[in-house]
Amino acid sequence: MNIVVLLKQTFDTEAKIVISGGKVDPTGVTLVINPYDEFAIEEALTLKEAQGEGSEITVVTAGGDVAEQALRTALAMGCDKSILVSDEALDGADEWAAAEAVAAALKDVEYDIIFAGRIAVDDASGQVAVRVAEALGIPSVSSILKFETDGTVATVTREIDGGNEIIEVPLPAMLTAQKGLNEPRLPNMMGIMKAKSKPLEKKDLAAVGKAAGDVAAKFVIDSVSLPTPREAGTILKGEAAETAPELVRLLHEEAKVI
Amino acid sequence: MDFGFTEEQRMVQEMAKSFAEKEIAPYVEQDEENHYYRREILSKMGEMGLLGWSMPEEYGGNGMGWMEAVTALYEIAKVHTSWRLSISGNCWGPAMTILEYGTDEQKKKFIPPLLSGEAVGSFAMTEANSGSDVGSMKMFAEDKGSHYVLNGSKMWISGGHTSDIGLVYVCTEEGGGPKGLSCFIIDYNNTEGIERIPINKKVGMWSAPTSELVFENAQVPKENLLGPVNKGFPICMWMLNNTRMGCATGAAALSAAALEGSVAYANERTQFGQPIGKFQLVQAQIAEMKLEDDAALQLVYRAAWLKQNKMPSQQQTSMAKLYSCKAAVNAANIAMKVYGSYGYSDEYPCGRWLRDAKQFETLEGTSNIHTTIVAGIELGYQPNR
Ligand SMILES: Cc1cc2nc3c(=O)[nH]c(=O)nc-3n(C[C@H](O)[C@H](O)[C@H](O)COP(=O)(O)OP(=O)(O)OC[C@H]3O[C@@H](n4cnc5c(N)ncnc54)[C@H](O)[C@@H]3O)c2cc1C
């Protein structure tokens, strides 16, 4: 089987976010594979292992040169090949533009199934994978928690309000991973050693058949702001039985939730 | 000159950090409290290739060298100092020494299980009356033709009672001193006559077992002699020049852990209406820790680099060990002050840092011994090997 994983490099979730000049400042921030994309990689690796010889995983990302690090990590985890779409014209790309670039890169790639993360933890828009599916004309199912396939149809489970939904989808299809799908592995030392000799193909827009004008962002960000810091909570000291009335009073009179 | 990581080194660091966070961190408190050695962590380290440094792939080595090894050990030791011992205990101690001095049969039999984590490794020189003066050891191996018979005891052996495969240095020529020592590979599970007694009460390193080993007419086959007879002393010194990197790196990591903890605490704790980090005296403490921590780590990396490039490294290894141990003890000491009364409580790791830091000044050569090595080489009394 030919398996594709879409990946985005994001800030470490523990990174301290600083805004300067109307943008999130990347200085000194550790970059990682978007955690939801790690679920996608793990699912791809599990599928490849189940399929045995002849299966191959290609990881694809759009980003700056530094995104090579994320691809190398994916290769160290066990993916086989990678493609980085990198072009100055993609600086400040919106979800539509990123999806166009990724879909264009996939034109030359054979795929039976594509995995991606449900959202990227930075912008949290959850659009790129679905837009790529649309551009490629394949079905997509988002936020999957369980996955099986017989090679022509995928059976996936997703959580819905009050229960689970089981969906059968013909392949090729785009499936986006929700937390809980699996437990991503760490690359081992042997994987890290092998990663350096695995293919990492860098393509600019022209190489995927696009011009800068084709991917001009469709929306403009007016401003970016940090959430207002949370105020420290109140701790009621004393035995539970003694403090309960005060807690009820505060919830009723101050927080006005009961 | 290059102070940056290669792509592989960056990945090794990331992986070791995640490994320590995922597989070690969740158990630190409970295992410390119970003085418990969580054997399965070693197996997991083996599976991930974290025990196979500078070793050929045919024996299960991971294809990486010293720089990557100290990078990984550092991340592991930062989370729990006890676990730094496993890389010395399995790889740099027995496996690497067998690779250097062993026969093909010895290499094939003993190295793979040590690198895969299937076996726990150890190495034993110290005796109740023989510490710094390694050449004065009394435990004796008598040549019986087809085998040796070992009698005597070893003290303070890391992993002594959990070990499956270990090196034991013994006297093979009475009164021979350093010139009468030999090294044996002991297959602990298949050797009669060895009593292994855990040392349960010690100041720190509570999740890393330490033991007394008593040999009573223990028969060891001839083929388990490592290297030539009576050449154990140079083998031991060669080994220690490698295993000492575990101490040096582990100590630098402990100082980093104490520094990171102190920084977080100083930013969080407020007194007199501001974070305590705003007070100049606390800043001086943080700066002192940072300076020593950074210097220690640079010394560690330089020693590792020399080893990686097969250049003389004994003096640099001793400097790295000496300085890192000093930095670790000082950092643990300062952290206890920065954390105030909370540092003295079990809820924070300051007590563990201080307990664990103190081991470094003693084992694998006391600070005095390393001072002597640094000076001896500098003064031209001995070559830098
Ligand atoms: C937790 C732990 C784990 C250990 N693990 C192992 C292990 O796995 N294998 C093993 O073989 N050993 C192990 N040891 C033993 C350790 O290596 C020895 O304790 C160490 O070599 C020092 O020996 P000693 O304790 O007998 O001290 P001594 O040699 O008696 O030294 C006592 C004091 O005298 C000083 N001194 C001695 N000689 C000189 C000199 N020539 N010049 C100046 N000062 C000197 C020392 O610096 C020290 O301050 C371990 C020890 C501990 C605490």
Domain positions in chain A: 2-215
Whether residue B55 sits in one domain with residue B38: yes
| Closest by Cβ to B62, choosing from A72, A76, A193 | A193
Does B157 share its domain with B101? no
Q: Does residue B262 sit in the same domain as residue B343?
A: yes
Task: Answer yes or no: is pLDDT of A255 > 90.
Answer: no
B363 CA → ligand 1 middle, Å = 5
What is the tens place of the pLDDT at every residue in B224-240?
999 999 999 999 999 99
3-state helix, strand, coil in chain B (%, to 5): 60, 15, 25
CATH topology of domain A2-215: Rossmann fold (3.40.50)
Query: What is the mean pLDDT of the segment spanning A146-157?
Result: 96
Query: Pick from A162, A155, A94: which is nearest to A128 by CA?
Result: A94
Q: Could you give the CA distance from residue B149 to residue B221 in angstroms, rounded to a whole number?
A: 9
Q: How far is C-alpha B191 from the chain's CA centre?
A: 26
Residues of chain B with pLDDT under 50: none
- Is a pLDDT exceeding 90 seen at residue A227? no
Count other Cβ atoms within 10 Å, centred on residue A229: 6
Shortest distance between the Cα of A129 and any Cα of chain B, in A, equals 27
What is residue A229's predicted lDDT score, i.e. its pLDDT?
A: 81
Asked if the C-beta of B20 comes within 8 angstroms of chain A's C-beta atoms, the answer is no
- Which residue of A lies nearest to B45 if distances are taken between CA atoms? A188
Query: Is A140 a residue whose pLDDT tops 90?
Result: yes
Whether the CB of B337 is below 8 Å from some CB of chain A: the reply is: no
Cα B150 off chain centre by: 26
- Are B337 and B370 within one domain? yes
- How much distance in Å is there from the Cα of B154 to the middle of ligand 1? 13
Nearest CB among A188, A195, A196 relative to B47 is that of: A188
Whether residue B230 has its Cβ less than 6 Å from ligand 1: no
Q: Which two tokens stand for residue B314?
A: 């004994």
> Does the CB atom of residue B362 touch ligand 1 within 6 A?
yes
Strands (E), B57-199: 121-124, 140-143, 147-158, 165-171, 181-187, 194-198
pLDDT at A220: 86
Say how many C-beta atoms besides its own lie within 10 A of residue B287's C-beta.
Answer: 11
Look at strands B165-171 and B147-158 and give their pairing.
Answer: unpaired
pTM listed for this prediction: 0.91
Same domain, B18 and B111: yes
Chain A hits for B47, CB-CB cut-off 8 Å, are 188
Please count the residues of chain A.
258
Q: Does B22 contact chain A (CB < 8 Å)?
A: yes
Q: Domain with B180 in it: what CATH number? A: 2.40.110.10
Helix (H) or strand (E) holding A32: strand A31-33
> Cβ neighbours of residue A120 under 8 Å, at least 6 residues apart?
A8, A10, A34, A36, A37, A126, A128
Task: Quote the CA–CA distance of A155 and A135 in Å, as a whole number.
Answer: 23
Percent of chain A scored above 90 by pLDDT? 75
**Domains in chain B, number:** 3
Instruction: Report how far residue B90's alpha carbon sits from residue B167's, in angstroms, rounded to the nearest whole number.
Output: 10
Q: Among B85, B138, B156, B205, which is best to mutate for testing ligand 1, by the most ligand atoms less than 8 A from CB?
A: B156
**Cα–Cα distance between A9 and B18 in angstroms, integer?**
17
Residues B299 and B315 in one domain: yes
If asked whether residues B254 and B370 sit together in one domain, one would say yes
Residue A27's SS3 state is coil
Whole-number pLDDT of residue B181: 98
Distance A239 CA to ligand 1 centre (A): 52
CA dist., res. B81 & res. B249, Å (int): 10
Domain membership of residue B40 as a residue range? 7-119
Tell me the mean pLDDT in the region A142-160: 96
A169 CA to middle of ligand 1, Å? 67
What is the spatial distance between Cα B293 and Cα B251, in angstroms, rounded to a whole number?
Answer: 9
Domain boundary among B230, B251, B282: B230
Which pLDDT does position A21 carry in this prediction? 85
Q: Note the helical H segments in A149-188.
A: none
Q: Which of residues 65-104 of B touch A (CB under 8 A)?
A: 68
Same domain, B57 and B166: no
Domain C-terminal end among B199, B230, B261: B230
The residue in chain A having the minimum alpha-carbon distance to the alpha carbon of residue B19 is A186
For residue B80, give the 3-state DSSP assignment.
coil
Structure confidence by residue, pLDDT tens digits, B167-185: 999 999 999 999 999 999 9
Q: Which residue among B185, B204, B230 closes a domain?
A: B230
- All residues at 6 or more sequence positions from B36 whose CB lies less than 8 Å from its CB, including other chains: B30, B207
